[in-house]
Amino acid sequence: MSAVIRLGMSHDAMSDGLLELLRRDDPEVGELLGRERERQETTIELIASENHVSPAVMHTMGSWLTNKYAEGYPGARYYGGCAWHDRIEELARQRAKALFGARFANVQPHSGATANTAMFMALMKPGETFASLVLKDGGHLSHGMSINFSGVYHRPVHYPLHADPAHPQFERIDYDAARRVCQEHRPRVVMCGYSAYPRVIDFARLRAIADEVGALLVADVAHIAGLCTHGGCAHPPPLPHAHVVTTTTHKTLRGPRGGLILTNDEELAKKLDKAVFPGVQGGPLMHVIAAKAVAFGEALRPEFVQYQHRVVRNAKALAAGLTAHGYRITTGGTDNHLMLVDLRPKDPELTGADAERWLEAAGIICNKNGIPSDPRPPKLTSGVRLGSPATTTRGMGEAEMGAIAGMIDRVLTSKGDADETGRVRSAVRALCERFPMPGPTTAHPAS
């Protein structure tokens, strides 16, 4: 039985002390935070973009660093009193570079979208063209959505997935079509990395396309970042193929909510630094940067590699369990931490919106999500997106994923029937009691 790290929030002394403080000084906020802690402890988190951080990461965000402005970069601040902030930011940089095999890292972006904003400012002029996967097929709003900055100030063109159900690569990236799109439009940037794509990304092939048309390859690995660490422990790494890598620091990386930019190119690194500050941000969130450093330190441990492998195995087990109950997994399965579940083969009238609402009532948290070529609008959808990072963090394994697939089917088959939903809610509570969100990092036998 291999050992894995289980991390998450718990009834540690600092957490309990926080609630005691708030219940005394601000009872309304204290009450709400207490309820949220209870919600997280007693529900199954299947949102692919969410995870449970360690107490060390969580409490670092509530530290003295929140009191300080530190505009600029280590050794070149615009405020005094930043000696320890410089040391902390440099530590975060060094750990990020070690994790991803990068020469340069900027740890200041407040979010993944902010990282992408800075990337566009550094690499493109307003009105220039870039290529990406369209949002409805699994892209991201900061990759060219018409009302997002990326679509307002730049010209997105999109490459497709294979749309023919008879094609062996159905619903996977059509790399030949991507090449044709880039040959036609000659984009300045080719973007890859997606918010709802369950298969391995061929970074080398996309780099070849970018080189052919004189473009820069940008990999937004926000979802799969953790899988790409340690030289690609559970997914091929974006470096050295991508000119620039952007990512969030939560999701599979299991850190605080924030962003990160990586590159191996010194000149690009200088442009990216200027684009982050003063281009799109002012003072960095040093308390979050310190939490990033803590999370990167956790991710550098060998146990983190085991965790990523379990994330993938658990996702495959959940997908197989749902398939056995009559649901369709887009692309026929998953290679990473997430899956898109097409609900229509099970029930043509079932929408993602209804599924999300009914499952939440049962203590199973997910999000409605469009599937490729979805005939329904984004507020309804024909599918849900599910992921395994958070359940894996709690120590659940493949057997539990199969049980969760059965719980999902019970709720959806009953169409949210109150009695059946109540029975599943009780089962969810019992499962969460078996796999509590623990305190400080501890070893736990694999399930």
Of the residues 199, 251, 368, 425, which is catalytic?
A: 251
Of the residues 93, 95, 179, 257, which is catalytic?
A: 257
In this predicted structure, what is the pLDDT of residue 300? 98
Of the residues 12, 50, 71, 90, which is catalytic?
A: 71
Residue 274 annotated to the active site = no
Of the residues 220, 298, 335, 398, which is catalytic?
A: 220
Residue 25 annotated to the active site = no
List the chain domain ranges. 65-299, 302-436
Quick check: 421 and 361 in contact, CB under 8 A? yes
CATH superfamily name and code, 302-436: Aspartate Aminotransferase, domain 1 (3.90.1150.10)
Residue 114 annotated to the active site = no
- Confidence check: pLDDT of 378 > 80: yes
Residue 257 annotated to the active site = yes
Residue 16 annotated to the active site = no
Q: 242 — phi, psi (to 5°)?
A: -80, 140
Residue 220 annotated to the active site = yes
How many other C-beta atoms lie within 10 A of the C-beta of residue 4?
A: 23
Give the pLDDT band of residue 438 (cuts 50, 70, 90).
low
Of the residues 12, 42, 69, 423, which is catalytic?
A: 69
pTM: 0.94
Specify the 3-state DSSP secondary structure of 51: coil
Cα end-to-end distance, the chain, whole Å: 8
Q: For 272-329, write each residue's pLDDT tens digit.
A: 999 999 999 999 999 999 999 999 999 999 999 999 999 999 999 999 999 999 999 9
Q: Which CATH architecture group holds 65-299?
A: 3-Layer(aba) Sandwich (3.40)
* 3-state SS string for 334-385: CCCCEEEEECCCCCCCCCHHHHHHHHHHCCEECEEECCCCCCCCCCCCCEEE
In this predicted structure, what is the pLDDT of residue 3? 37
Quick check: 6 and 391 in contact, CB under 8 A? no
* Helices assigned H by DSSP within 126-221: 149-152, 175-185, 203-213
Of the residues 248, 249, 263, 331, which is catalytic?
A: 248
In this predicted structure, what is the pLDDT of residue 445? 33
- Strand blocks (E) in 185-298: 189-192, 216-220, 244-248, 259-263
Quick check: 8 and 391 in contact, CB under 8 A? no
